[in-house]
Amino acid sequence: MIAAVQRAIASDFFYQFRRDPVAVGSTLVLLVFVSLAVLAPLIATQNPYDPIQIDIMDSELPPVWQQGGDARFVFGTDPQGRDMWSTILYGTGVSLIIGIFAVMLQAVLGVTLGLMSGYIGGRLDSFLMRIADIQLSFSTLMVAIIVLAVFQAAFSAQLYADLAIIMLVLVIGIAEWPQYARTVRANVLAEKEKEYVDAARVIGLSRLRIMFRHILPNTLTPILVISTVQVANAIVAEAALSFLGLGMPVNQPSLGSLIRNGFDYILSGQWWITVIPSIVLIILILAINLLGDWLRDALNPKLYKET
Amino acid sequence: MDILAFLIRRLGQACVVMLVISLIGFSIQDNLGDPLRELVGQSVSEEERKALRDRMGLNDPFFVQYARFLGKAVQGDLGTSYFFKKPALEVIFNKFPATFELVLSATLIIILVSVPVGIYCAINPKSLFSRFVMVISIAGISIPVFLTAIFLIYIFAIYLDWLPSYGRGITVDFGWWRTGFLTADGLLHLIMPAVALSSIMLPLFIRLIRGEMMEVLRTEYVRFAWAKGLAPRRVWLLHAFKNTLLPVITVGGVQIGTLIAYTILTETVFQWPGMGFLFLEAVNRVDTPLIIAYIIVVGLIFVVTNTLVDLIYTMVNPMVRIAGVKG
Amino acid sequence: MPLLEVRDLEVEFPMRAGRLKALRGVGFSLDGGERLGIVGESGAGKSMAAYAILNLITEPGRISAGEISFDGTRLDTLDDEEMRHIRGNRIAMIFQDPMMTLNPVLTVGTQMVECLHAHRKMPEAEARALAIAKLREVAIPSPEQRFDAYPHELSGGLRQRVVIAIALLLDPAIIIADEPTTALDVTIQAEIMGLMIELCDNHRVGLILITHDLAVVSDVTQRMLVMYAGRVVEAGPTADVIDTPAHPYTIGLLHALPQKNEPGGMLNQIPGNMPSLAEVPTGCAFHPRCAHADARCKSELPQLRMVKERRVACHHAEALT
């Protein structure tokens, strides 16, 4: 294990990484975000989920550097009296959790279906790709909005609030599998022609084994590249859905629902409730996108750019 | 002749998709909300309820009800909105012009900006302008649509007070169609929402066009075009760009769906009285017929636009056509 | 005076690793109506010389030294617009793979007529008639229908004929053909080559034929050059060079032809590989693979000099012939 890490650090890939300020910068930013989110229970001054700690009398206080600010609440408070700093910390955590889990679901689903579709081919392939096409053309966001809208209308508010995180992970996860499936399938079709597959078949390995133990490792590069961007997309999707009121409920804030909350107040001058979480969200997504861009260029030998 | 065969095949597929959508829509309706509750109050006996349900055909088997639903749908009857007390389809159509004009404006912005900028950046990738555009476009892609909308409002409506922050402004009626294009006020109201709606697609298309065109410029046939001594403009705009169009059209077709989803977000922020805003309100009010009607209408729009995009693609790409008796 | 003259041509590619020289001082000439062959392995620089003539080297490569003169005018100092008038018009070029050469989304006719419109003023109908006439001349059946066809609707041989027709459209003085038959079936190769020779003779067009195929060169050309690692190592009348090669590399190439072998014997290979642009040996670039190399070969770059009616770049040329 140590040897593997040592090898990784000494590798060409890591060398390229170290030399690129954008890659290093965005990874650092991401690490900061993730650590802050993980350490939230320790560094937040307040637990925004605990109604006892919130005092409605503290609501709508501006950040500490503006007139009327309170030293207890560095970034001010929201309409319910929650501390912005704490809420943003927890909210970032929620966004990251949903983003990562949704992408894991997409990946597992998409990669499996893509492998099967590409390797087995035939009717299964046409059928799956048809569905993927249709689903892609309807756009993830639209599908997510409709599904969540229907669920929200069908279930009681309390039940929905309890299930919100799971629903979001499920919906975003299932909505985006075509991305993975298509990429993996393209790779599988290319790999299928190669000799090591013939060799494995001749030995008599089962289809499943060939697919997962032999072909899959060779398709990992594009999967990795897509995954970074997909995490960013998932986080944006969750924020958008929460903003529409179809995502996280008001008492379990995420960055999106915070922005929604604050939007009504922007006209009356209480900008911090919307603007600060917005900036946090943008920085998070920007960092992930930059890293994803860099990864794609670094891992793609075809695009060896001239100076 | 080939176009006809293609159209018939696509129409068949479209019908299948619409059937599936209508089935989904109907099953949702069946399980969502209780039409009875809207019609009669609480204090109605259980027997009377059952009789009422029988009379309304609500106790019939699933597929019978579905067939009935389908029959009415084809005639344009998708139920009556609980809230508006008017036919759901009519309510949606009333809001259609607003959304259409918004989407049209955003699409125009996207096409008119991304094509020239993308082409320029492909031809001069190292210029200052190109690098600048690339940096801005990463930022643009990273900012979600609704945040762009909010920031636009914050800067231009609240801080600078140049542009109005909500609604369509003064509109003119052309029979049933209510347009905002014909008044200065209407156009002013259109600027921010259209810009916000185009804000993610624009950098996406610029990068796409630039990327694809740079690939095309490296091909042998473009090199041959130079070797023939053709004028640069012809090489770039005909030989190179026509080949760039193909993948761009494909991606564009897929993005139309996302654009429609983004209208919901944009209309919410700007309180733009379009179909998206209507849908969200319907969800909040649990106005089931309206929800279903919207799903079906949007489904139809998707199917139609996708078929159109496919058609355009076949017309532009000669290699996809069924070969005639040539060669 | 020769129609085309190339002198001391150097082409370099500035890269992160340093300046890579693709051509390190190449010179040759072509008279009107003459057929010249340029032979060498992939990477030797033969295509590069052709692209340099028409200034079509892809960036970041560029001509760093030398002169190219055509009909009295310096080509390497022309600006873009002036160069454009030469390309396709006075000097035409044919590339290797006709599927990649013709634009897939434009009809054959469009790609022919635009060439005419780019260099001459003529009404559409006349341009169309001229194009169809040229298609007929390259022996394409039913030229009117082919005119409106797309490249993918034609076979490989037909496509290459179209490309040849395009090259001839404006009655150029020189045609540069870069491996014109390599991508085609063997059976078609001879036809196409025969067609090209016939047309060049009929129209008094000079031909620069770039290929790695020695058999084609000996059939088609009157003079030839052999290139190695970006330089010309031997140049002279084709018959002389092929029958009695003087440079060790040329000797090795001819020996390596399967025809030269006894059936059942091992093929004669030249040991080693041609060096990449980044690792050109000092002195004579061929010395690591040459059985006759000595200290002088390792340090001193041999210049082309006349030996037995052809030019050779080898210190030991006299001794070997």
More confident residue, A213 or A176: A176
Residues B82 and B284: their CA atoms lie apart, in Å, by 12
Please answer yes or no on whether B228 and C118 come within 8 Å at the CB atom: yes
Residues 29-68 of chain C with CB under 8 A from chain A are: 59-60
Coil vs helix vs strand at B177 = strand
Structure tokens at C283: 């002195």
**Among the ranges given (A27-36, B211-220, B261-270, C125-134), the one the predictor scored with the smallest mean pLDDT:** A27-36
Q: Tell whether A307 lies on the interface with C, counting CB pairs under 8 A.
A: yes
Enumerate the β-bridge partners of residue C210.
C38, C178
Which of A136, A153, A271 lies at the smallest CB-CB distance from B32? A153
C19 at A interface, C-beta within 8 A: no
Minimum distance, in Å, between the CA of residue C283 and any CA atom of chain B: 35
**B258 and A136 in contact by Cβ < 8 A?**
no
Cβ atoms < 10 Å from Cβ of B104: 13
To the nearest whole Å, the CA of B177 is away from the closest chain A CA by 26
Residue type present at position C149: A
Q: With contact defined as beta carbons under 8 Å apart, do C173 and C111 qualify?
A: no
B chain contacts of residue C148, beta-carbon cutoff 8 Å: 326
Report the C-alpha dihedral over residues C252, C255, C256, C259, rounded to 10 degrees: 160
Domains assigned to chain C: 4-90+175-320 (3.40.50.300), 103-169 (no CATH)
Q: How far apart are the first and last CA of chain B?
A: 19
Tell me the shortest Cα–Cα distance from C153 to chain B, in angstroms: 5
| B162-221 confidence digits (pLDDT tens) | 777 787 777 777 777 777 777 777 788 888 889 999 988 899 899 999 989 998 998 889
A contacts of C14 (beta carbons < 8 Å): 307
Torsion angle, CA of C179/C183/C188/C194, rounded to 10 degrees?
-10
Q: In chain B, whose CA is at the least distance from the CA of A144?
A: B261
Are A263 and B141 within 8 A, CB to CB?
A: no
Confidence of residue A131 (pLDDT cuts 50, 70, 90): confident
Of C88, C119, C152, the CB nearest to B227: C88
Chains contacting B with at least 3 CB pairs below 8 Å? A, C
Query: CA nearest B316 in C: which residue?
Result: C105
Question: What angle, rounded to 10 degrees, do the helices at B275-285 and A140-154 form?
Answer: 30
Please tell me if residue A305 touches chain C, with a CB cutoff of 8 Å.
Answer: no
DSSP assignment letter at B322: P
Q: What is the DSSP letter of B271?
A: T
Residue B40 predicted with pLDDT over 70: no
Mention every residue, 6+ apart, whose C-beta is less than 8 A from residue A259: A239, A242, A243, A274, A277, A278, A281, B146, B147, B150
Q: Give the closest residue to B326 by CA, choosing from A197, C146, C224, C288.
A: C146
pLDDT by residue, tens only, chain C of 321 residues: 788 899 888 888 887 777 888 888 888 889 888 999 999 887 778 888 889 999 888 877 888 888 899 988 888 888 888 899 989 889 999 988 888 899 998 999 999 999 999 998 889 999 999 999 999 988 888 888 889 999 988 888 888 889 999 998 888 999 999 988 887 888 888 888 888 888 888 888 999 999 888 888 888 899 999 988 888 888 999 998 888 888 888 888 887 777 666 677 667 777 777 777 777 878 888 878 887 778 888 888 888 888 777 888 888 777 665
Q: Do B242 and C105 touch (CB under 8 A)?
A: yes
A306 touches chain C (CB under 8 A): yes
Nearest CB to A139: which of B31, B261, B288? B261
CB–CB of B288/A153 below 8 Å?
A: yes
In three-state form (DSSP H/G/I as H, E/B as E, the rest C), the secondary structure along chain C is CCCEEEEEEEEEEEECCEEEEEEEEEEEEECCCCEEEEECCCCCCHHHHHHHHCCCCCCCCEEEEEEEEECCEECCCCCHHHHHHHECCCEEEECCCHHHHCCCCCCHHHHHHHHHHHHCCCCHHHHHHHHHHHHHHCCCCCHHHHHCCCHHHCCHHHHHHHHHHHHHCCCCCEEEEECCCCCCCHHHHHHHHHHHHHHHHHHCCEEEEEECCHHHHHHHCCEEEEEECCEEEEEEEHHHHHHCCCCHHHHHHHHHCHHHCCCCCCCCCCCCCCCCHHHCCCCCCCHHHCCCCCHHHHHCCCCCEEECCEEECCCCHHHHC
Distance CA C139, CA C162 (A): 10
Largest CA distance in chain A: 77
Contacts of A306 in chain C (CB under 8 A): 15, 59-60
- pTM comes to 0.83
Q: CA of A19, closest CA in chain C: separation in Å?
A: 15
What residue has token string 């392939």? A125
Residue B286 at interface with chain A, using a CB cutoff of 8 Å: yes
Cis before C245? omega within 30: no
Q: Does C272 touch chain A (CB under 8 A)?
A: no
* Residue contact A278–B269, C-beta within 8 A: no
Show residues of chain C in contact with B219, CB under 8 Å.
100
Give the closest of C88, C148, C155 to B229, CB-based. Answer: C88
Helix (H) or strand (E) holding B247: helix B241-270
| Residue-wise pLDDT tens digits, A266-293 | 777 777 788 888 888 999 998 998 888 8
**What six digits make up the tokens of C11?**
């082409």
What ipTM did this prediction achieve?
Answer: 0.87
Mutate to test the interface with B, among C103, C110, C112, C145 (most CBs of B within 10 A): C103
Q: Which residue has the higher pLDDT, B56 or A288?
A: A288
All residues of chain B having their beta carbon less than 8 Å from the beta carbon of residue C183 are none
| Predicted local distance difference test score (pLDDT) of residue C321 | 56
As beta bridge partners, residue C206 has C174
How many angstroms separate the CA atoms of B12 and B14, rounded? Answer: 5
Q: CA-based Rg of chain C, rounded to a whole angstrom? A: 21
Per-residue tokens: A265:
């107040």
CB contact under 8 A, C88 and B219: no
How far apart are the two ends of chain C, measured CA to CA in Å?
31
Closest residue to B150, CB basis, from A140, A142, A274: A274
pLDDT of residue B327: 32
Q: What is the dihedral of CA A122, A125, A128, A133, to 10 degrees?
A: -120
CB B9, CB B314: distance < 8 Å: no
Distance, in Å, from the CA atom of B192 to the CA atom of B272, rounded to the nearest integer, reads 11
B-contacting residues of C 54-73, CB under 8 Å? Answer: 54, 56, 58
